[in-house]
Each structure stands twice: as structure tokens, then as C-alpha cells.
């Protein structure tokens, strides 16, 4: 069962000058990831609140949402068999599915990071490769916060318009990735071996998922533009939203 909607009771908007962005995380998740996201959002002009299954926050008070990285998603949510050696967090899965339900009803801008990109796909009925190295045999086995993996970005995508580049290097902290696309989504970035690295929904004001971790690429202004564009969309700057989805 999903977390009752009482956890997301409607209240007044979080807008008071700076947009309020929620960042989902595991109860036992890395505080480094939270502070990296918090810093990126603060630099972009937003306030941030950490949301976990044990510390929920009313989604109706948010102006935007970051679905963060972390443990694998329960494979039974997309029709696969759960693997016993994979660490999952069912409470967080339920939290994020409900948060994405609420965000969809309100047309909140949403950025999915690593696991968060995968969760956007699962929320829309898609599936995942439970281990990319079983499918993409040539994919490098990288696990690093440094930009060591080369990706290509579709030039007619919102992601391209935000980053302003067709190829770049990103970091890699994952072993799963998008398989079957969810409803209304398109692939907008892949790595050289073919693994999906970016997805987005053209019919949504701002719904983008990236398989890498831009919050750790603090000196890369192009990557930080993801947070700036999210915050601008959360602030209701329609010109920025149009530029990201046209």
C-alpha cells in the first residue's frame, strides 16, 4: 500500500520569495547527497526541505520536487522478481510514488536524479533493467562521483536546451537504468554503450530525469543549470519553462 494521502495534506503554498523544493531521500540515506542537493538548490535561489518516509512533508506546500538518488526500487513495482541481494526501501518507494502523484496533479516541476529518474519512469508505468551489465555488456563498470562517463544528448530536447551541449561527461553511481519507457516519456540522453541516461516528458512543464548526479558536479555550470531551471520553473517563470520544453 502507498502512504496515506494524510501525509500530504493540502496547505498554503510554500512560496515566500524563494521557491520551496522538496528533496526525497532514504531514512538511512547519505547526508552528503542531501547537503549537495541543498547547496545546489540554495545557489539556484531556492529553499530546500529533506523528505523521508519518517519525516514526510506536505507536497502541496512545495513549489518543486527533486526525487533523489539512493537504494534500488522494488522490482515488483514494475512486474519483475525482486533479487534477494539487492537492498530496497519499500517505505521510500511508497513515499515517492505518492509524492509524484501529488506533483502530477499540481503540475509541479520535478527533477529525478539517478534512482529518482528511474522512479519517474516506474511511476508512469515503465520498467527498469535490474542490472545494466547483464544487458549492456560493453558498459564500463564505473562507480565514481567524477565525470568519467560520456553521454550524448538529443538536440531537440529540453535537456539539451538546459545544458546547451550535445555531449558531455557525467559521473556514475548506478547499476540499474530505464528499460521500457513509461507513459508520455522519451529518452533524451544515452551513454556510448546505449544505457539510458536521460528522460523527459514533453507534455509537462518540467519533468526531467537524469541517471547521473549533477549535485556532485558543483564546479560544472552546465550541470548546475539543471537546478537553476528547476527553481525558475518552481518560481513560475514561464519563459524558462517554455525554453525547456518547446
The answer to whether residues 137 and 164 touch, using CB atoms and an 8 Å cutoff, is: no
**Does the active-site annotation cover 213?**
yes
**Does the active-site annotation cover 215?**
yes
DSSP 61: G
| Strand extents, DSSP E, 77-229 | 110-113, 128-129, 144-153, 167-172, 177-178, 186-191, 196-200, 207-210
**Does the active-site annotation cover 80?**
no
Catalytic-labelled residue, pool 38, 174, 204, 213? 213
Catalytic-labelled residue, pool 38, 96, 114, 129? 114
Torsion of CA 146, 150, 152, 153, to 10 degrees: 0
Cα-only R_g, the chain: 16
Catalytic-labelled residue, pool 96, 191, 200, 215? 215
Cell of 143: 562507480
Catalytic positions, written as ranges: 114, 213, 215
Amino acid at each position: 500500500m502507498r502512504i496515506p494521502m494524510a501525509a500530504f495534506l493540502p496547505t498554503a503554498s510554500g512560496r515566500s520569495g524563494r521557491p520551496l523544493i522538496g528533496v526525497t531521500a532514504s531514512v538511512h540515506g547519505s547526508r552528503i547527497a542531501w547537503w549537495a542537493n541543498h547547496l545546489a538548490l540554495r545557489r539556484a535561489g531556492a529553499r530546500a526541505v529533506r523528505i523521508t518516509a519518517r519525516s514526510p512533508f506536505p507536497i502541496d506546500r512545495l513549489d518543486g520536487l527533486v526525487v533523489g538518488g539512493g537504494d534500488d526500487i522494488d522490482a515488483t513495482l514494475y512486474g519483475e522478481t525482486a533479487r534477494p541481494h539487492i537492498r530496497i526501501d519499500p517505505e521510500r518507494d511508497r513515499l515517492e510514488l505518492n509524492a509524484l502523484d501529488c506533483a502530477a496533479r499540481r503540475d509541479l516541476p520535478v527533477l529525478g536524479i539517478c534512482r529518482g529518474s528511474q522512479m519517474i519512469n516506474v511511476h508512469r508505468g515503465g520498467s527498469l533493467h535490474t542490472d545494466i551489465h547483464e544487458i549492456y555488456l560493453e558498459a564500463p563498470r564505473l562507480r565514481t562521483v567524477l565525470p568519467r562517463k560520456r553521454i550524448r544528448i538529443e538536440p531537440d530536447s529540453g535537456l539539451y536546451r538546459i545544458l546547451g551541449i550535445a555531449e558531455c561527461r557525467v559521473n556514475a553511481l548506478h547499476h540499474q537504468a530505464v528499460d521500457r519507457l513509461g507513459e508520455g516519456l522519451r529518452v533524451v540522453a544515452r551513454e556510448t554503450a546505449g544505457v539510458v541516461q536521460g528522460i523527459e516528458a514533453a507534455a509537462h512543464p518540467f519533468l526531467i530525469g537524469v541517471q547521473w548526479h549533477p549535485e556532485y558536479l558543483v564546479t560544472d555550470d552546465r550541470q548546475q543549470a539543471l537546478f537553476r531551471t528547476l527553481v525558475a520553473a518552481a518560481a513560475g517563470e514561464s519563459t524558462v519553462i517554455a525554453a525547456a520544453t518547446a
